[in-house]
Amino acid sequence: MPDVILGRAGSTVVVDVDVCVKTGVATKHRVVLRGQTTPTWVSVLLLFTVVGYLFAQAMTSRRYHVTLPFAHAVHDRWRRNRRLCWAAGLAGTGAVVMAATVGHGYAGLWAGAGLTLIAGGVVLGAANALVNNVGVRMTRADELVLTRAHPFFVRAVRRASVEPLSR
């Protein structure tokens, strides 16, 4: 799926087109995404030093506030699956704690089931985010880039843009 530059990182961006960001169909439903992003080069520092990574992340991160057209059904599916993954992770954590504290003959089974639930929650949560949501990243030039967007959405944003999308 293609990427599209939405504006400067650290600013509020409102995308005023009626094409869903994930499905490419017409929609009037809007979703506000809030978060924080850093340039991709910061992640490379994890290979060398955790302290350097944390320092670089703190120094280069920018907040974003993006309003996007998002089909109601797709956004609800993402939220429902996210809650399910959190529930699986919490149930797994409870099973591991129970295995560690109760200490009866089935402690190994409870610990294995708990770790499986935790791993499943993490893996399925990542897959859910990849399939049902979009990503936001920042370039070195402090441009806010929307990733995993539908090609029809990207085309609509580029067609609706009056200002150039890139320098």
Is the pLDDT assigned to residue 124 strictly greater than 90?
yes
Check pLDDT > 70 for residue 37: yes
> What distance in Å separates the CA atoms of residue 142 and residue 7, rounded to the nearest whole number?
9
Instruction: Answer for the pair 157, 114: CB distance below 8 angstroms, yes or no.
Output: no
Q: What is the DSSP letter of 148?
A: S
CA dist 150 to 36, 83, 128, 157, Å? 22, 24, 16, 11
pLDDT tens digits along 59-82:
988 889 999 999 999 999 999 999
Tokens of 114: 């708990």
pLDDT at 164 over 80: no
User: What is d(CA 37, CA 40) in angstroms, rounded to the nearest whole number?
Assistant: 9
- Position 86 pLDDT exceeds 90: yes
Whether 103 shows a pLDDT value over 80: the answer reads no
